[in-house]
Structure 1
Amino acid sequence: MAYIPKDAEWYIAELVIECNIEGNPHNVIHVNIVLVRASSPEDAFEKAEELGYQSNDTYLNPKNQTVTFTYRGLRHLDVIHDELEHGAELMFEEKIGICESELQQILTPKSQLAIFRPLKPVDSSKPDYTSKEIMDEVAKMMSGDSVIERL
């Protein structure tokens, strides 16, 4: 078993969630990285699984297709060794023997980081897992304009 500090209370989990849209042959996989507060690795596992199962959901999209989210399992679960504060290390990955060209391939320029990329128009070829209920509510809030038409 990995080294777990005596006072460890935070863990990081990667939850794998599968999304299926009725009539669409392509599934969508989300890997959600979440914090888990727990008293032991076993407690962390149970709480991570509980968070995963809370992701299970079914609803209609704006095209009246059934959208189903299903928790499939954990991809990763590890303890956080540091106190949660600015600069705390949450997880790490080790690579050995990486040449400069490989190193450059794993670096992302600022303009390509997800947080700085501009929003793209909705790609109609992608599975639509938006919630009809939420989109209808947004449309009402936008003074009756159809949000779907603007997308």
Structure 2
Amino acid sequence: MAYIPKDTNWYIAELVIECNVEGNPRNVVHVNIVLVHASSPEEAFEKAEELGYESNDTYLNPKNQTVTFTYRGLRHLDVIHDELEHGGELMFEEKIGIRESELQQMLTPKCQLAIFRPLKPIDPSKPDYRSKEIMDEVAKMMSGDGVIERL
């Protein structure tokens, strides 16, 4: 078993959630990285699984197709050793013998980081897992200003 400090109460879990849209042969898989508050690894596992199963959902998309989210399992569960504060380390990855060219490929320019990328129009070939209920509500809120076409 991994080293778990006695006062540990935070863990990090990677939940694998599969999304299927009625009539679309392609699935969409999300890996959601979540914090888990627990007093032991066993409790962290149970709580992570609970969070995963809470992701199970079914609803209609704007095309009236049934969208189903299914929790498939955990990809990763680990202890967080540092305090949850600015600069606290949540996870790390170790690689040995990396060439400079490989190292450069690991780096992402600021303009390509997800947080700085511009919104893209919806790709019609991609499964549409938006909620019809939510999109209808957004349409009501934005009525008539053309914003909804960009969503």
* TM-score range for the pair, normalised by the shorter chain length: over 0.9
> What do the CA deviations read for 1:71-121 (whole angstroms, capped 9, x no partner)?
000000000001111100000000000000010111111111000111111
Q: Equivalents in 2 of 1:37, 1:95: separation in Å?
A: 29
Q: Equivalents in 1 of 2:97, 2:34: separation in Å?
A: 30
Shift of 1:143: 2.6
Contact 1:12–1:34, Cα closer than 8 Å, also in 2: yes
> Is residue 87 of structure 1 aligned with residue 91 of structure 2?
no
TM-score (norm 1): 0.96
| % identical aligned pairs | 89
Q: What secondary structure sits across from 2:49 in the alignment?
A: helix
Shift of 1:141: 1.2
The alpha-carbon distance between structure 1 residues 140 and 22, as it changes in their structure 2 partners (threshold 3 A), is same
Matches within 5 A, 1:1-151: 1-143=1-143, 149=149, 151=151
The residue type paired with residue 130 of structure 2 is T
Q: What secondary structure sits across from 1:36 in the alignment?
A: strand
Unaligned runs of 5+ in 2: none
Equivalenced residues, count? 151
The residue type paired with residue 115 of structure 1 is I
Contact 2:121–2:150, Cα closer than 8 Å, also in 1: no
Unaligned runs of 5+ in 1: none
TM-score (norm 2): 0.96
**Greater alpha carbon shift after TM alignment, 137-146 vs 12-21:** 137-146
